[in-house]
Structure 1
Amino acid sequence: MTNNNLSIFEELESSVRSYVRSFPAVFTKAKGSKIWDADGKEYLDFFAGAGALNYGHNDPKMKEKLVEYIQNDGITHSLDKATEAKGEFLRTFNDVILKPRNMEYRVMFPGPTGTNTVESALKIARKVTGRTDVISFTRGFHGMTIGSLAVSGNSAKRAGAGIPLNNTVTMPYDNFVNEEDSLDYLERFLEDNGSGVAIPAAVILETVQGEGGLNTARVEWLRRVEEICRNWGIFLIIDDVQAGVGRTGTFFSFEEAGLKPDVICLSKSIGGFGLPLAITLIKPEYDKWSPGEHNGTFRGNNHAFITATESLSYWKDDSFEKSIQAKSKRITEFLNRIVEENPDIQGKVRGRGFMQGIASSVEGLSERVASEAFKRGVIMETSGGKDEVFKLFPALTMTDEELEQGFKIIEQSVDAALSVYKQAAD
């Protein structure tokens, strides 16, 4: 295989592949917020592994720790046996993340992916409450295994299950229909014995719906969800797989709202380096598992423990968090300017922090913007049920200069996409 020849992938890899279709190049090297293809072309990464690379590619300190661990024959695979690497991660996570936020949780290692942590969260809620149903929200996305799909909203992905997805009830997310509070609707169902909705084991939600189109819940809406859960004895599960680990400006996406979830789901960037890792945080009084009741062969990824522990050094004081918030304002200002200066895109800025984008009412325009950006050296994706949002998802460590460079290319891409749209209209 030479240069950007994709024939081997077209010949041998399953047709389920998707990102290679959006980014048709053979990538060979990555560092920080840059990635290079086989022809030596440089790209700015505004995709960050769909949120798995919040600290960029090949962070030097994490790489050094990992290489040293491997060279010293550190344990790679351990299931849930006790290892020094796991113990150091648990200690550091508790000291750096949980204690300063007055949070007390047991840490469960359910398996290496986001859907693993969601499945374990649903299981423990059902086990503790003895109830079966779970309330989820429109446009939510929680993973690709059966339980996670059942609480996801995307109809195409749900259809891929091939079987009915049961024991879930979908309620409208904040501002799904209009400005009226959708939680009045939810409470009415809970109060009415004739509604057909039983008191659920749990409510599961994302504070910002990453795959669903960057829909963002208001603080007051989130607080009322928590109040409803407390009033009815319902588990509150926050899926922070994509929105967590600093993506929205604070380590957990719900910190501004002051929520105290019963269960928190983390994956993607919790491993720091892009290595597979997921954790489920469970309030101690609900940690009712029997030994081995939920398990998985790769729940002890020690390489990820090494890099995850090192990644937490970013959070030992508030300087990193402040830098994220300052840069987030620049992203918001840029997107607002694009919307104001280009009324033809019929756009609306969505999201918060380092997960923002523009939803365009013009069919296909957001996909065109992402395509034009790729041609110009920026990797970015779309989200939403109709791919109506072009999404800025850079590493939290991206420099100011790289952000500005990306802004210029994205602005050029919007202009190019609008030009194509106007030509087609004529």
Structure 2
Amino acid sequence: MMGDWLSPLTVEEIKAICLTLNITLSNAVCKSRLKLVEFLENVDSDKRAELEGLRDQKKLTKRGSSKRKRAEASTTGDTTKRAKPGTSDEQSPTFGTQELVKAVPKPRFMQLPSAKEIHDRCVEFLDALSPHAVAEVVCASCTRLHWQSESTIVSIDSIPHSNHLHPVWNPHPAHVLMDGMLLETKGIQCNNTKGASVHLCGECLHHLSSNKLPPFTLLNKMWIGPVPEVLSQLTMLEQLLLTPVYPQCFVYKLHPKSGSTGDPTREQSGLRGNVTSFLMNTDEVVEMLKGAKMPRPASILASVLAITYVGVGQLPINWLKLMFCVRHRAVLEALAWLIQNNKYFLGYVIDEEVVTSLPEDNVPVEIIASIRQETQMDILEKESDACVPGSLMTEVVVGKDKMGMGFNKVRMDWNTFNYATV
């Protein structure tokens, strides 16, 4: 990257020239001189030549002014201290913004763009829509996804202050170290000719260049290790069947994103809503879950999870399959892995009878029986309104306790966990 190739032009003079040359400057570019200069490095060659010519013209003007001042001082023998700019009555000639604007030939009004300009704009448009422009890469330091254009490829030997990426204590057995650094393997590129290189996001690279520990780097207590495939593929219901303790219950409220389409494939991807969690009576839950067998029976699902569908017409169950499906084989494989690798599951044994009773690949009947449907679509519009304290507040009745809550009146029975919107 070049230095400040527009010096000695001021920022105001550069903006005035860009205005005359029809160069559009965004607010982000105008925030600093460095960004402005970097942006103008990539303009058309004709406009860049205009900028360089005006830059050289100002350099000559300043050099001539300095020579005149030295000649006058040597002739008069004046050895007094030079006054600061703006304090004397006679100002030295300057190359101001107005002179810059006048020096640039103004284009004719409504002048048609040239063939080269049309070609350049088409190339820029296609580049902005290309797969490379929207490609994402993983930062090897923080493992977050970033646009490839906002990331930097750095040779693994040239990472600044790489000591911040070296584990201080004994590394975990599952750590994957690259030259002693804890890095995400998905952010590493291997080249037979140039060696290994890594993708670094702007934030991590800035902190490393400043000799600081990046806040989201894996080494800053952000490493949890790779999630086993048998656990990452579990659905919400399958996770609940393998949970030793249920401190909360969940209420799902789903509705079509933009009206019912009648197409299950589109409706499934268009469902939206919210999940509300409530504290449970832990003592009763512990009493109910006594024993050392896993997984939990499917009947427990109706006590810890409820679904309300807001919409007109009967809800096809297959629409909920991707979200609330249970697969007994996936549950069995995940439970076997947990008993073998997780110390909190060492005391549990697999209940073959419960595993056999789970669906092979379907929504459990306990969940289907507990689904509630609300046909009044206007309640969705009410929830989208602004909340004004005192005007839209209703109450939630939970057993014998009452608490304030906005928009809808929710009535819940903790014995059967029936959920209905009134």
Q: Quick check: TM above 0.5?
A: no
TM-score range, shorter chain: under 0.3
Larger radius of gyration: 2
Q: TM-score, normalization: structure 1?
A: 0.19
Q: TM-score, normalization: structure 2?
A: 0.19
Greater relative contact order, per chain length (Cα 8 Å cut-off, separation 6+): 1
